[in-house]
Amino acid sequence: MSTLHTVNKSPYEKNSVGSCLAHANSGSSILFYEDAVYATIKGASIEQLVTGTEGVKLYALGADLKARGITDDKLIDGIEIVDYAGFVDLAAEHERVQAWV
């Protein structure tokens, strides 16, 4: 029933983030990693798209945020940061993983 969606492309370069958000059901989770972490910066043109998903939990991979200089103060409220072990836990906790490449 519950799906972990993983996205790794910049929201401005491809529509993977947009399509993922549009197809994520209530109760599912989305993990932003690699260039998709740029979707988590607040005040951006896509912020409402990112926060507009009802009942979808949002995660971002900490190492990818750090690499890109996205400090905690820049993050949209409610996005939870996970490390690589947390990524594995999320994959294990959900019934399936759907990658948005």
Partner 1 sequence: MSEDIKRFMYINRRAPHGTIYAWESLEVVLIGAAFDQDVSLAFFDDGVYQLLKSQDTSGIETKNFSPTYSALGDYDVTKLYVEQESLEERGLTLDDLMDLKWEDEDDDWAEKDSIRLVSRAELKEVLEQQDIVFSF
Contact residues toward partner 1 (CB under 8 A) are 8-10, 12-13, 34-35, 38, 41-45, 47, 62-64, 66-71, 74
Token digits for 4? 């972990």
CB of 71 to partner 1, least distance (A): 6
CB of 35 to partner 1, least distance (A): 4
CB of 69 to partner 1, least distance (A): 4
Instruction: Return the number of the residue (74 or 96) whose C-beta is nearest partner 1.
Output: 74
Q: Please name which of 60, 69, 72, 67 lies closest in space to residue 11, comparing C-alpha atoms.
A: 60
Look up tokens 């529509």; give the residue.
15
Instruction: Return the number of the residue (67 or 91) whose C-beta is nearest partner 1.
Output: 67
3-state SS class at 24: coil
Tell me how far CA of residue 83 lies from CA of 54, 88, 92, in angstroms: 24, 9, 14
Instruction: Return the number of the residue (28 or 33) whose C-beta is nearest partner 1.
Output: 33
